[in-house]
Amino acid sequence: MLRSLVGSEMCIRDSINAEYGRLPIATMADEEENTGPKYEYDGEKHPEDPTQQHGKGKAVYPNGDEYVGEYEIGKRSGAGVYKWVKMEVDEETGEPKIAMDEDGNKVFESEYTGGYKENMKDGQGKMVFPDGSTYEGSWKYDKRHGDGVYWYSNGDIFSGEWRFGLKHGRGTLISKETGAKLVGTFTEGQFVKGKWVMDDATYTGAYKDNKPHGPGPVSYTHLTLPTKRIV
């Protein structure tokens, strides 16, 4: 039983930390402020200032990224799609270059579809990451914020509340490998209180470092043991 607990805990812990530290940060190609556009733009302009993008348009950046969507006074605002181009190393020169498919078209490794406000992801949106994991839900200040679902590349799923990029509030994390579930409360990315539901048992109590911590009952399928401490 303890071996089952440890194996499930390791899978759950890996999923909880999967989006931190191992995925490249998807930065925009026009993050510098007050420098003016440094990219190709085709679309509507502000009626009183033709140097400002305003309305619907398409931008192609020097690094190969592309954005198609709405602008407001020179900034991405409204609905839009941003694609991050995939880079590879040139075999002859050893220099990085944009990856192309067999037809000569650019290959994109990640994509965001949804709302923007002042160049930042805002409102409802869907983000596909380079490793194939996907988040769909609410955004604020370019971070996952509010209710949303994260599908990990290993098949695990988290559904619940986020605050500025971290799991925070009620939520459920499901491990594809073991079928175990964490159902309860997350604080700044850590599971702190709730149920750990497995095929043959359920632990209810407090958690520390994403592991059971302190006294808590373990309920088996046909039996409930007295409160015990799981280390």
pLDDT at 29: 67
Q: How far apart are CA 194 and CA 21, in angstroms?
A: 26
The pLDDT tens digits for 37-60 are 578 999 999 999 999 999 999 999
The pLDDT tens digits for 104-150 are 999 999 999 999 999 999 999 999 999 999 999 999 999 999 999 99
- Give the three-state DSSP class for 111: strand
Q: How far apart are CA 57 and CA 111, in angstroms?
A: 17
pLDDT at 208: 84
pLDDT at 26: 61
Element (H, E) at 218: strand 218-220
